[in-house]
Amino acid sequence: MSTQATEEAPDAYEALLDHYEQLSNVNAASGILQWDQEVMMPEGGTPARSKQKSALSELSHDLLTDDQVGEWLDELDELEDADLDGEQAAVVREIRRQYERADRVPGELVAEISETTSEALPKWKQAKEEDDFSVFAPVLEDLVELKREYAEHIDPDKPAYEVLFADYEPYLDLDTAERVLERLREELVPLIEDVRASDVELADPFDGEFDVDTQEELARDVLDTLGYDFEHGRIDTAPHPFSTGNQFDARVTTRFSEDDPVDALMSTIHEFGHARYTLGLPREQYGNPLGESRDLTVHESQSRLWENHVGRSRVFWEKFLPAMQARFPQLEDATPEAAYEAANEVYEDNLIRVEADELTYHMHIIVRFEIERELIEGDLDVEDVPERWNDKYEEYLGIRPDNDAEGCLQDIHWSHGSFGYFPTYSLGSVLAAQIYDALEADVGDVDEKVRNGNFDVIADWLEEHVHRHGARYTTPELVEEATGEPYNADHFVDYVTEKYTDLYDL
């Protein structure tokens, strides 16, 4: 039953819902403008776009912090618990959390941050293209200062980075993130060392050039195979792949390289996972928190489950390699086992996070986490970022970038002002393994389902146990609801240890 249709709901609750739906639509419109800027907007459109997005951000902030919202929430606080059912109480909890944070931040600051991020995007693109960090550094410094000010308004008694992290994961605290990242560092570093010391050389049938237009056709093939709903989505290219939208319109982007078709394929599957989660949210709850996703750890778990546990599996390559061979005849002699090995190779010298293997990927995340926390807490000057970045890559991955384009300029997130975002990538990967094990315990051998092309079993289970709940539960509650146990890293550690021990004959 739709929360909006509940007759017994108090008047204040219904008024709050109506108001929040207006806010939700403003935010959705802003998201489309962001998508357009990253995918289709002419390069010269930035001055107008930054003003447009700033206006919408300020309007969104004004709607959320309207005095009437506070009054409705106060009125609902005074009601007995029995006056709101579980779903209604969850809606009030989520709106209250957003309201209390936003109400502490001046609208002018919100508008300034939005305008600055719009201006930062083309500067980041230019800096990356020209391999010149100094092009991006001034606007990055502005964003660091603005986000410190933002955090100070929300909670002056907490470290600024902790406050910013809660924007992306409000229910798993920073201590949890640090514990998980430390566990991954302890478990994965020796595993990576063992892999690199192994004499096993994995096959790679994907040597040569692969036409980009044909790769785009292949990306559509894999989306069709997995069950992507093109009536409610589309695929485009972007410098940094992403997914955005709502349960009626969930779009994906990817990027292509002539010498690495597997990278584009995995990127497409990853963004499919995000979009499938979004499309699985209840349509009747559009415009309220019950129709919104549960923050970034859960979102990332869905993309990493599809990318790694499905897309990088042996059985997936048994299923999908013939489609790839049909598009690229030069692969006619490739075997599913060789393709599987190529998709799971642990790289000796990869500098790019989005092209990283499952093991070294998390070292990339740890580098970013440590650097951006130092930036926000004032322990690192912006001008010193490239050197610190390169030093940490040498320390954690044994490689050093030759330039900033493949170093500190490779990711788009800082141009969005998204400080505190990166830990959720590893948190989500960990959760993906936990959810996958619960899925398999419930539906039986998932490999057999993939081998038979029965991807709907996976998608339907995820929709039933994760997607349909929207933001009904907090992250720990949703994890327990879906898996029957608290959030933990055990499943992930077991999964990668078993997988790479087998691959590299450790």
pLDDT band at residue 8 under the 50/70/90 scheme: low
Both tokens assigned to 285: 């709850």
Both tokens assigned to 73: 């929430």
Give me the pLDDT at residue 351, please: 92
- How confident is the model over 198-234, as pLDDT tens digits? 999 999 999 999 999 999 999 999 999 999 999 999 9
Give me the pLDDT at residue 81, please: 59
Per-residue pLDDT at 249 exceeds 80: yes
pLDDT band at residue 77 under the 50/70/90 scheme: confident
Long-range contacts of 137-145 (CB under 8 A, 24+ apart): 137/382, 137/383, 137/385, 139/415, 140/382, 140/385, 140/414, 140/415, 141/382, 142/116, 143/113, 143/116, 143/117, 143/414, 143/415, 143/417, 143/419, 144/375, 144/376, 144/382, 144/419
Higher-scoring residue by pLDDT: 30, 84: 30
CA distance 473 to 109: 31
| Percentage of the chain exceeding pLDDT 90 | 91
Both tokens assigned to 318: 């048994």
- How confident is the model over 132-144, as pLDDT tens digits? 999 999 999 999 9
Rounded to 10°, the helix 455-465/423-443 angle is 110
Q: What is the mean pLDDT of residues 351-368?
A: 92
Q: Alpha-carbon Rg of the chain, whole angstroms?
A: 23
Give the chain's largest Cα–Cα span: 71
CA distance 297 to 232: 24
Strand 249-254 versus strand 235-237 pairing type: parallel
Mean of pLDDT over the chain: 94
pLDDT band at residue 104 under the 50/70/90 scheme: very high
Burial class from Cβ neighbours inside 10 Å (0-12, 13-18, 19+) for residue 250 reads: buried
Q: DSSP string spanning 179-240?
A: HHHHHHHHHHHHHHHHHHH----------S---HHHHHHHHHHHHHHHT--GGG--EEE-SS
| Percentage of the chain exceeding pLDDT 70 | 98
Question: What's the start-to-end Cα distance of the chain, in Å?
Answer: 53
- Nearest of 129, 16, 25 to residue 76 by alpha carbon: 16
Per-residue pLDDT at 6 exceeds 50: no
Residue 79: CB atoms within 10 A of its CB come to 13
Per-residue pLDDT at 3 exceeds 60: no
Give me the pLDDT at residue 344, please: 97
- Nearest of 481, 431, 113, 440 to residue 295 by alpha carbon: 431
Strand order in the sheet with 249-254: 235-237, 249-254, 243-246
Per-residue pLDDT at 12 exceeds 50: yes
Q: What is the mean pLDDT of residues 320-337?
A: 97
93 three-state secondary structure: helix
CA distance 468 to 486: 20
Q: What are phi and psi of 244, to 5 degrees?
A: -155, 160
Give me the pLDDT at residue 1, please: 38
Both tokens assigned to 315: 């059985």
- How confident is the model over 401-450, as pLDDT tens digits? 999 999 999 998 999 999 999 999 999 999 999 999 999 999 999 999 99
Q: What is the mean pLDDT of residues 384-396?
A: 95
Both tokens assigned to 279: 């499309």
Any idea which residues carry the catalytic annotation? 271
Residues constituting the chain: 506
Per-residue pLDDT at 11 exceeds 80: yes
Higher-scoring residue by pLDDT: 6, 28: 28
Residue 139 falls in which region: left (phi positive, over 0), alpha (psi -120 to 50) or beta: alpha
> 105-114 burial, b if ≥16 CB within 10 A, otherwise e?
bebebbbbbb
CA distance 261 to 206: 7
Per-residue pLDDT at 4 exceeds 80: no
Q: DSSP string spanning 233-262?
A: --EEE-SS--EEEETTEEEEEE---TT-HH
pLDDT band at residue 82 under the 50/70/90 scheme: low
Give me the pLDDT at residue 10, please: 84
